[in-house]
Structure 1
Amino acid sequence: MPGFDPLALIDACYAAAVEPETWSDALDGIADAVGARGAVIVSHDPARTAQTLASERIADVNLDYGVGGWWQHDTRIRLGRERGIMRPGMVTVDEMYLTAEEKRADPFFQHFIDRHRLANLCAYVGADPMDRHTLSFSASRDVRNGPFEGAEIERMGLVGPHVIRAFRLTALVGEMRREAEGLTSALERMRAGIVVLDVRGRVRLVSPVAERLAAGYLALRTGAEPEAAEPIDSARFGRFLADVLPERSWPRQETILLRRRGGGRPLYVEALPLRGADPFPVAGAGLGGGVVLLLRDLLAPSTRPIEPLLEQLGLTRAEARVAALVGRGAAPREVAEQLAVGESTVRSQLKAVYGKLAIRRQSELAVFITRLDSL
């Protein structure tokens, strides 16, 4: 059995919370540390029990357990509930549920455990901090190995709480990412871009849409204050920033229209305060959370988003975006520039759009998109 480095194993679990693809390696590392073939995390909420997470070495077992429905016949879960064994904070082993003789007569062990050549199981029981349903982190022994020993059980008890917390963090991070993607998609459909400023008014983040909208209106350099591109707006924009920074009295002027250098329609800029601590803290920056600048072209053609309708017709999100832009008159090269992808990628997606919508040329796509826009 390899050396036991609890901090490395725990760090691997928390790293997997933000990089879910590494969970299998993290679970395998813990399985090695306790002499098991593999490890699995199971929710005991009946609505989620089939949604297990396992190390790659027991992927076939996990698939059979979850998708195959064997979780509904797991004798240990039933007995654990009946006898009050599965309480948060406990480490359990098979001997707490059934004797060796009872295992040999039990259908779950006969038809599932024996078929996968598994033997003893050691599990840490935890509770989901959000809904209080129990979760278990289990390590499964190969049929050739004997029962789990004291040191191995202690190791499960040491790393188990961190595995459960990291597993829950994985779900929360996933939800946050989906919300962020939804916000990004909504802003894109509004033709709106965002610029995040720290408490000193320095640029920390610029969305792709904001970078495109700001061209000719604002000079945006990371680590520097934004500046109006049109000299006549320079002083006015400076006063606007001074008004909206957190250490100033908020709010005095929340919006401003900027002129484009060389002429053109105005750009609408709205300031939104970031509450709480500075998301990009620097030494001596003071308190407050910075400011978000929302950029919009108010005079851009107003069309309702049809991408969700196109996705319902079988297009991917990327294909729907391309179909909408090309159908409204943009050339593939312009679409590629706007979406920051290669023109060949756009043409490939356009070909897929034609196939899925059963059309043959751009003129037919334009008619189709026009009809969707008029709904």
Structure 2
Amino acid sequence: MSGFEPLALIDACYAAALDPAAWPDALDGLADAVGARGAVIVSHDPKRTAQTLASERIGDVNLDYGVGGWWQHDTRIRLGRQRGIMRPGTVTVDEMYLTADEKRTDPFFQHFIDRHRLGNLCAYVGADPMDSHTLSFSTPRDVRKGPFEGAEVERIGLIGPHVVRAFRLTALMGEMRLEAEGLANALERMRAGIVILDPRGRVRLVSPAAEALAAGYLSLRTGAEPEALEPAEAARFHRFLADALPMRIGPRQDVFLLRRRGGGRPLALEGLPLRGGDPFPAAVSGLGGGMVLLLRDLMAPATRPIEPLLEQFGLTRAEARVAALVGRGAAPREVADQFAIGESTVRSQLKAVYGKLAIRRQSELAVFITRLDSL
């Protein structure tokens, strides 16, 4: 059995929480530390029990246990529930569930354990902090080895709580990554980018989309306040940021159209204050607070043009173009400038759009266009 270095083993578990691909090696190291053939983490939630995580050297056993369905016939789980053995914070061994004679006649041990040449098992049982179910960190021995000794059981009791916590962190990090990917996809569909500012208005994080959108409009340097690149906009932009930060008391300007240096269509900025309870940790936004700066090119083409869909509602091609831009937040004057037509023409087309879509105001059109954009 290899030397026991608890801090290194625990560090390996928490490192695996951030990099799930490292779990098999981490579990192998844990198994070596207690003289086991391998290590496996099992949820006792019936909906997740098949989704076990195991060390590489018992990968075939784990596959048979999960995909092969043997987890449904695990006598130890069944007896542990019946007898109240599997209490959070306890370390269990096979002898707590069955005698040697009972093992020899038990179908699970006969057809699964014996076939994989597994011997004694020692497990730490921990509580899942996210629900009422328990988890176990189990270390099966090779059939040629005897029962676990006292020092080995103590080691499993020492490192077990960290293994269970790190395993749950892996699941939580995975859920957070999925949520982040969903947010990124949503922002991409909106043609939007985000900039995180700390409570003093300094840049802490810039998304790739925001960096691309800010070109020609803003200077975004980490640790510095954003600056408008068009000199004539500098003072107005500074007032907008001051208004949008959460310590501001009184009326605020939440949306700002920033002109590009050298001319061109404006960039829409929206300030979203971060207060207590917002879903951004202090490590991102600073010492709590700060703001999210949302950047949007209101006149950029959609990922998939929606004008053909609008035409199916009876709009002309010109009306569909106007409806798409105004529904995404552009003012009639901005649409008129883009198409080099009179603002009165745009308003006339907009009136026709409202009539054909049976709506009365721009806010209703915005909801309608957003739904089409999300299809």
Distance 2:24 2:292 in 1: 38
1:56 corresponds to: 56
Change (3 A) 1:162 1:278: closer
Cα deviation, residue 262, structure 1 = 1.4
Cα deviation, residue 304, structure 1 = 5.6
Distance 1:77 1:146 in 2: 22
Deviations 1:128-160 (A, max 9, x none): 111111111100101111100101011111111
Change (3 A) 1:220 1:229: same
TM-score by length of 2: 0.77
2:84 corresponds to: 84
Cα deviation, residue 297, structure 1 = 1.1
Unaligned runs of 5+ in 1: 307-371
Q: Does 1:239 align with 2:230?
A: no
1:123 corresponds to: 123
Cα deviation, residue 98, structure 1 = 1.2
SS at match of 1:120: strand
TM-score by length of 1: 0.77
SS at match of 1:130: coil
Cα deviation, residue 50, structure 1 = 0.5
Q: Is the 8 A contact 2:43 2:133 kept in 1?
A: yes
Distance 1:281 1:127 in 2: 32
Change (3 A) 1:199 1:110: same
Q: Is the 8 A contact 1:76 1:97 kept in 2?
A: yes
1:109 corresponds to: 109
Distance 1:189 1:129 in 2: 35
Change (3 A) 1:278 1:249: farther
Deviations 1:225-275 (A, max 9, x none): 111111110111111122223443365222211111111111110101122
Deviations 1:27-62 (A, max 9, x none): 111111110010001111111110100000100000
SS at match of 2:283: coil
The structure 1 segments of at least 4 consecutive aligned residues displaced by more than 4 Å after TM superposition are 302-306
1:201 corresponds to: 201
Distance 1:274 1:115 in 2: 58
1:192 corresponds to: 192
Q: Is the 8 A contact 1:195 1:210 kept in 2?
A: yes
1:25 corresponds to: 25
Distance 1:185 1:202 in 2: 26
1:325 corresponds to: none
SS at match of 2:152: helix
SS at match of 2:102: helix
SS at match of 2:132: coil
Which residues of 2 match residues 119-268 of structure 1 at below 5 A? Answer: 119-249=119-249, 252-268=252-268
Which residues of 2 match residues 286-365 of structure 1 at below 5 A? Answer: 287-302=287-302
Of stretches 250-259 and 55-64 in structure 1, the one that deviates more from structure 2 is 250-259
SS at match of 2:80: helix
Distance 1:18 1:159 in 2: 18
Deviations 1:335-357 (A, max 9, x none): xxxxxxxxxxxxxxxxxxxxxxx
Distance 2:60 2:177 in 1: 29
Q: Is the 8 A contact 1:256 1:268 kept in 2?
A: yes
1:43 corresponds to: 43
Distance 2:37 2:263 in 1: 69
Change (3 A) 1:130 1:231: same
SS at match of 1:151: helix
Distance 2:60 2:72 in 1: 17
Deviations 1:152-204 (A, max 9, x none): 01111111111111111111111011000000000000001111111221112
Give the AA of the match of 2:17.
Answer: A
Distance 2:305 2:108 in 1: 52
1:341 corresponds to: none
2:283 corresponds to: 279
Deviations 1:46-86 (A, max 9, x none): 11110100000100000000100111111111111222111
Change (3 A) 1:41 1:303: closer
SS at match of 1:279: helix
Unaligned runs of 5+ in 2: 307-371
Distance 1:273 1:251 in 2: 13
Deviations 1:270-324 (A, max 9, x none): 1011223643477xxxx54211110111122346689xxxxxxxxxxxxxxxxxx
Give the AA of the match of 2:70.
Answer: W
Q: Is the 8 A contact 2:135 2:164 kept in 1?
A: yes
Q: Is the 8 A contact 1:279 1:289 kept in 2?
A: no
SS at match of 1:147: coil
Give the AA of the match of 2:24.
Answer: S
Distance 1:62 1:278 in 2: 40
Q: Is the 8 A contact 2:205 2:284 kept in 1?
A: no
Distance 1:73 1:251 in 2: 64
2:8 corresponds to: 8
Give the AA of the match of 1:209.
Answer: A
Distance 1:144 1:278 in 2: 52
Give the AA of the match of 2:148.
Answer: F
Distance 2:224 2:115 in 1: 64
Change (3 A) 1:147 1:166: same
The alignment yields a C-alpha RMSD, in angstroms, of 2.0
Distance 2:134 2:6 in 1: 23
